[in-house]
Amino acid sequence: MIPKAEASSDSKEGEEKMRVILLGPPGAGKGTQAAEIKTKYKVAHISTGDILRQNVKEKTKLGCQAQEFMNGGKLVPDEIIVGMMGERLKEKDCEKGFLLDGFPRTVPQAEALDQLLATMNLSLDAVILLDVDDEVVVKRLCGRRMCRQCGEIYHVTFKPSSQGMRCEKCGGELFQRDDDKETVIRSRLKVYHDQTAPLISYYDEKGLLRKVNAGTSSSSVMAEIEALVQEKVAE
């Protein structure tokens, strides 16, 4: 059962909130599920990449600091990302809760997030792990094909084009992106496992981790997530 979040000082009594982290390897369907959760539960979907790009675009103080590191080909330090996250969580659309996607990625980032939430008198409800076998991920991603002209996405197994290797919409040639090649996918999976294994243990020890079988259909995965959410609401 998802533990009930502690009420923040500015919460309305009895108001339900959902503060969740979504974890999972590439190809697990995080983007699809995040969009469903955002729509159904009216919570903010917060992606690290999105807030980084927004801060850089708007030339905020943190955005300018991040840009310097990016221009030098360096990773943006955790303290800058956490600072951006803190500002983002203060925005109005986070009042009903939030869904973090792509953050944290490491235990130090998770510890920094804990400290940030504590200063805001907030706590996490759950960390949902979309659990899927590597071979399923490889099959999902290796089978993707993109139209060179309009960018439409197909899949050789799950969404084949009726026109063979041509796009149904514009007739453009379908091709496999470099990111969807098996060697690249397996390399990304190794990085994910190396980074995320300690993070999974960290949240498991805190009693926050909830595993969802992401090797099934998108609708089945969403049903599992909804069941977890309903358990929280029923508390």
Residue 142 pLDDT > 70, yes or no?
yes
Q: How confident is the model at residue 235 (pLDDT cuts 50, 70, 90)?
A: low
CA distance 8 to 214: 32
Q: Which candidate in 17, 19, 30, 88 is catalytic? A: 30
Q: Which one of 4, 38, 96, 105 is the catalytic residue?
A: 105
Task: Say if strands 174-175 and 144-147 run parallel, antiparallel, or are unpaired.
Answer: antiparallel
Confidence of residue 86 (pLDDT cuts 50, 70, 90): very high
Average pLDDT of 197-221?
93
- What is the CA angle 208-211-214, rounded to 5? 145
Catalytic residue among 17, 88, 140, 144: 144
Q: What is the pLDDT of residue 231?
A: 74
pLDDT band at residue 9 using 50, 70 and 90 as cut-offs:
very low
pLDDT of residue 52: 93
105 counts as catalytic? yes
pTM of the predicted model as reported, rounded to 2 decimal places:
0.81
Kindly give, in sequence order, each residue whose CB lies less than 8 Å from that of residue 36, ignoring residues fewer than 6 positions away.
222, 225
144 is known as an active-site residue: yes
Report the pLDDT value the prediction gives residue 11, as an integer from 0 to 100: 41
Q: What angle do CA 114, 37, 76 make, to 5 degrees?
A: 45
Distance CA 214, CA 221 (A): 6
Q: 104: cis peptide before it, omega within 30°?
A: yes
Check residue 12 and give its pLDDT.
42
d(CA 94, CA 17) in angstroms, rounded, equals 9
Domains of the chain (ranges, CATH numbers)? 18-43+96-234 (3.40.50.300)
Q: What is the pLDDT of residue 133?
A: 95
The answer to whether 113 and 103 are in contact (CB under 8 A) is yes
Report the C-alpha gap between 85 and 48 in whole angstroms.
8
User: Which one of 4, 166, 186, 188 is the catalytic residue?
Assistant: 188
Provide the pLDDT for residue 173: 97
Residues 6+ apart with CB under 8 A from 164: none
Span 109-132, average pLDDT: 94
Q: How confident is the model at residue 217 (pLDDT cuts 50, 70, 90)?
A: confident
Catalytic residue among 53, 148, 177, 181: 177
pLDDT at 233 (0 to 100): 54
Does residue 177 carry a pLDDT above 60? yes
Per-residue pLDDT tens digits for 17-34 = 789 999 999 889 888 899
Say what the pLDDT of residue 234 is: 58
